[in-house]
Structure 1
């Protein structure tokens, strides 16, 4: 931790002092105490270690949970100074006793409290959910910012997001784009990834914005940014073409099972209808990529219904239920969408279905398998044009 109390109860933050002052504080002339449990703590500082306090190994303090190292401490301090420079009331490592949690930073903005967690190592999804819901129950808004070293970039508009990072996707309202925030203490830059859409289980495309700390305030950090329709159109056309043309010599798990399932139906990937593998904003709620669960809906539900027949949302959920994640796993998303309903609505735009009620749809067009690869790619492109023309994304 960066702060401790002196005998007089005053909080002290050695990391903000010049090197000579830190050495004086470390000389043994002073005694320091944990602001939470009141036990004595030790000031540690060195050439490569930012000045911080540590409990004894046998200390019994609710805040002890394993430090994240100098990178984390440096980033936390920079963010603290950044918020103070904006004239905001901010506390460093403030303990919230009613929920027994200590956010890295606790900011007061008018009548709101915002807990900022600067996370630089992977933790269990269950811990993210527990800490987030704890703040929410205490009426505290929460912002998780990841250390830049955790970012896995795949080109200018794509990131790799594992289950840990997926749990840190923010959406403060239905109108707010899906967002993830990063900060690098070494370059003093924020990296904001917004309006993201998953093209497969772990890769998402979105709007990547990099901004210097000194040129950004809290409001700007939380502002909305979107990918243009034209860019999304191009990305998804390339993705659909890649999907058609890609050849994997070795496949495993669900992908192998899915290909065998298609083979049993006498269908090859190149023949799939263009309505398989469409962009779904809430695809983070699925354990498998879009081409698997969407083809299940197409072949196990839609293809079995005659023109004029009714397709229900519950039918489609039934064939995909084993691959659906619980919205409760995404505690930072306040109004999760239903990916199955979202897909059925896209099929309405594609001219396959017509909505008849909140949960039912009428089939108005047959689903065609492709016989030629070139025609499939052309039809994919035309469908993407239609969807992004109609979508107010």
Structure 2
């Protein structure tokens, strides 16, 4: 905690810029109390952690409102508080919201709207996060979650392949139908934007990474722009590079032999697994609903078409249902949508056969248009 009440019932906010000698003198003369439960607090002024207040062990108040706070959380919370102060924005640090019995890290009031800012350093379950969000919404407060930059991860600026844990994926936001995550790194005093996310497979994504120092951040927070077609071309190169490596390992690790639908499809279609046409294995909306890498189910679709003497234009709802059942894939609205989206791209390129000639530029143009309309659900 960074906020406490003094003996005189005055609010006291800790600031890491205050010399520790001055804080130690203050600690000798003043007692501090929790603004919520009114219990006396410990005033900790250590060597490895910034000065902070803490309840005595086994405090019910501490269990109800906060997890054990790390140095990173305390520092980031203080920096974000000072950021809003420097912007001349009405902000409260660790306020207790009696109506909903919750205590956000920060409460920001701007243009008559209230925002609860949560700087999240520790893992949080989706259920608990939703519970907090519902509480804020009941009190007409908009929640803003800012996950901390993971300590063990380094995101270099530029377009790159990244790995996002399921924990981080729950913080994905949408702007102009594009997906992004806004992180904060208190050590470097900067925001990290992972924007224009493109799903590869599992927890692997392609992203444009940008760092924004807190000194030039604004509120409402900066929203990342959609990547240009030139930048998207880099995405496509990375995507196919990942596909090459993934499929290479995929072949080596397969234990199913002729029962492996992907390998069977490639064999029957007389395709080279290390040089698949660039329209097999492309990102499409809702593809995350199919528990396979895109190249696997898209190659299988061409095999299904050949076996059943169908064209792309004949892939209606019933045909898609038959394909999903034939390929032993989950049948749902989202998997149907994924197949439809892929068929739409193939129709736009006038492709019906896996050996059909194509121009790289046409594929990039079609994929770019589709990417701008993607709204993934992770």
Q: What's 1:369 paired with?
A: 354
SS at match of 2:181: strand
Deviation, 1:93, is: 1.2
Higher relative contact order (CA 8 A, sep 6+): 1
Deviation, 1:344, is: 2.4
Alpha-carbon distance in 2 for matches of 1:213, 1:35: 29
Scaled by the length of structure 1, the TM-score of the pair is: 0.77
Aligned residue among 285, 290, 294 for 1:290:
294
For residues 283-314 of structure 1, the C-alpha deviation after alignment (integer angstroms, 9 at most, x for no partner) is: 56665543345456655689747235341297
Q: What's 2:4 paired with?
A: 4
Q: What's 2:112 paired with?
A: 111
SS at match of 2:360: helix
Q: What's 2:376 paired with?
A: none
Alpha-carbon distance in 2 for matches of 1:243, 1:192: 25
Q: What's 2:281 paired with?
A: 277
Q: What's 2:50 paired with?
A: 50
Q: What's 2:155 paired with?
A: 153
Deviation, 1:80, is: 0.2
Greater CA deviation, 281-290 or 158-167? 281-290
Alpha-carbon distance in 2 for matches of 1:260, 1:286: 16
Unaligned runs of 5+ in 1: 327-337, 354-363
Q: What's 2:363 paired with?
A: 384
Count of aligned pairs: 358
Unaligned runs of 5+ in 2: 373-378
Report the CA distance shift for 1:386/1:101 in structure 2 as closer, same or farther (over 3 A): same
For residues 184-229 of structure 1, the C-alpha deviation after alignment (integer angstroms, 9 at most, x for no partner) is: 222211111212111222222223221211122123x332322221
For residues 338-387 of structure 1, the C-alpha deviation after alignment (integer angstroms, 9 at most, x for no partner) is: 5753652353233279xxxxxxxxxx863x334xxxx9xx8583553231
Contact 1:104–1:118 (CA<8 Å) still a contact in 2? Answer: yes
SS at match of 2:365: helix
Deviation, 1:66, is: 2.3
Greater CA deviation, 294-303 or 191-200? 294-303
Report the CA distance shift for 1:299/1:35 in structure 2 as closer, same or farther (over 3 A): farther
Alpha-carbon distance in 2 for matches of 1:126, 1:292: 33
Scaled by the length of structure 2, the TM-score of the pair is: 0.79
Does residue 1:214 correspond to 2:215, yes or no? yes
Contact 2:159–2:234 (CA<8 Å) still a contact in 1? Answer: no
Report the CA distance shift for 1:153/1:160 in structure 2 as closer, same or farther (over 3 A): farther
Deviating above 6 A after TM superposition, structure 1's stretches of 4 or more consecutive aligned residues are 249-252, 255-259, 316-321
Aligned alpha-carbon RMSD (Å): 3.6
Contact 1:274–1:383 (CA<8 Å) still a contact in 2? Answer: no
For residues 63-118 of structure 1, the C-alpha deviation after alignment (integer angstroms, 9 at most, x for no partner) is: 44422311110111011000111011111112233433221111111121111111
Alpha-carbon distance in 2 for matches of 1:249, 1:310: 28
Contact 1:278–1:290 (CA<8 Å) still a contact in 2? Answer: yes
SS at match of 1:387: helix
Contact 1:7–1:32 (CA<8 Å) still a contact in 2? Answer: yes
